[in-house]
């Protein structure tokens, strides 16, 4: 039985729609990892952007200005992610994938917790903090010679190494983006979980689903710009709501 502090009721019509669904698409954001201890970005007291300026840390210009600061900030975050474990929300989505004919999990998160929870078909829109690439040439770099220089340099071209994440002003990986928009258009149920729904182009995905008349569900303890438009809003933490949703689905 999930440990629930809030009263969660899943509308029976939503359960019926989920049971009948052939293709479920899910978009997740930082909120799904909050219960694993990974900070979100925009929450007033605890979000990363409450303490750190994204202009100084999460743009290519920031990296060019102060690559060492940016590298060390991501090192700190890599450490946080390494210490975190998937929570019941991640685990419930991995289980949901198993019982759906088709399931597309699109994440804005860079923490790899969905994969660690057992999710297979994960589309990473904003990259992965555990991968490194060359700032100059963009190639993924798995190994580099030990060095005290920070950031280390690309063993192929000597350029600076950076995390393989998508910063503001950068394009998202084309294939991932295409797969995500196709899933949003073609699924028969769309779930938006733990995202403030403000960062584009990810924030457009549920809108694309809604334009197609697709049932769209939001799971979030706080309202977002999407909340008024969705078919169902399930207010609360995803680590509590998703296990209940799964359990309800599994009931005869």
Residues with catalytic function: 126
Distance (Å, whole) CA 36 – CA 239: 9
Q: How far apart are CA 229 and CA 50, in angstroms?
A: 27
Contact characters 182-221, ligand BJW, x per CB under 6 A: ------------xxx-xxxx-----------------xxx
| Residue 174 to residue 71: CA distance in whole angstroms | 25
Residue 149: C-alpha distances to residues 57, 67, 114 (Å): 19, 11, 32
As measured in angstroms, the least distance from the Cβ of 17 to ligand BJW is: 21
Q: Is there binding between residue 58 and ligand BJW (CB under 6 A)?
A: yes
Q: Give exposure, 155-168, as e/b (b: 16+ Cβ within 10 Å).
A: eeeebbbbbbbbbe
**Smallest distance from ligand BJW to CB 101, Å:** 26
Q: Which is nearer to ligand BJW, 21 or 202 (CB)?
A: 202
Is residue 34 part of the contact set for ligand BJW (CB under 6 A)? yes
CB of 109 to ligand BJW, least distance (A): 6
As to burial, measured by CB atoms within 10 angstroms (0-12 exposed, 13-18 middle, 19+ buried), residue 29 is buried
Residue 33 in contact with ligand BJW, rule: CB under 6 A: no
Residue nearest to ligand BJW (CB): 31
Position 29 contacts ligand BJW (CB under 6 A):
yes
**Does the protein bind ligand BJW through residue 110 (CB under 6 A)?**
yes
Does position 75 interact with ligand BJW (CB under 6 A)? The reply is: no
As to burial, measured by CB atoms within 10 angstroms (0-12 exposed, 13-18 middle, 19+ buried), residue 210 is middle
R_g of the chain computed on alpha carbons: 19
Tokens, residue 60: 């290519």
Contacts of 113 (CB under 8 A, 6+ apart): 32, 33, 36, 38, 81, 84, 85, 86, 87, 90
Q: Does 85 bind ligand BJW (CB under 6 A)?
A: no
CB of 214 to ligand BJW, least distance (A): 20
**Per CB under 6 A, 224 contacts ligand BJW:** yes
Q: Does 133 bind ligand BJW (CB under 6 A)?
A: no
Binding residues for ligand BJW, rule: CB under 6 A, are: 29-32, 34-35, 40-43, 47, 58, 108, 110, 126, 165-171, 194-196, 198-201, 219-222, 224, 237-239
């Amino acid at each position: 039985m999930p440990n629930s502090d809030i009263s969660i009721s899943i509308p029976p019509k939503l359960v019926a729609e989920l049971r009948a669904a052939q293709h479920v698409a899910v978009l997740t954001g930082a909120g799904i990892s909050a219960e694993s201890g990974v900070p979100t970005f925009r929450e007033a007291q605890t979000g990363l952007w409450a303490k750190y300026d994204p202009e100084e840390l999460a743009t290519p210009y920031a990296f060019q200005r102060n690559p060492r600061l940016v590298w060390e900030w991501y090192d700190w975050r890599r450490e946080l992610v390494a210490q975190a474990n998937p929570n019941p929300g991640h685990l419930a989505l991995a289980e949901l994938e198993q019982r759906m004919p088709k399931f597309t999990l699109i994440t804005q998160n860079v923490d790899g917790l969905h994969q660690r929870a057992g999710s297979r078909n994960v589309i990473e829109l904003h990259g992965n903090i555990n991968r490194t690439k060359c700032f100059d040439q963009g190639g993924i770099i798995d190994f580099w010679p030990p060095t005290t220089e920070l950031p280390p340099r690309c063993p192929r071209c000597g350029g600076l190494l950076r995390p393989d994440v998508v910063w503001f002003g950068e394009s998202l990986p084309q294939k991932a983006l295409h797969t995500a928009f196709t899933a949003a258009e073609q699924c028969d149920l769309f779930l938006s979980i733990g995202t403030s729904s403000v960062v584009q182009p990810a924030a457009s995905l549920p809108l694309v689903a809604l334009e197609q008349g697709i049932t769209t569900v939001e799971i979030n303890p706080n309202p977002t710009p999407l909340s008024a438009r969705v078919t169902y809003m399930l207010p609360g933490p995803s680590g509590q709501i998703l296990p209940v949703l799964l359990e309800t689905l599994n009931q005869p």
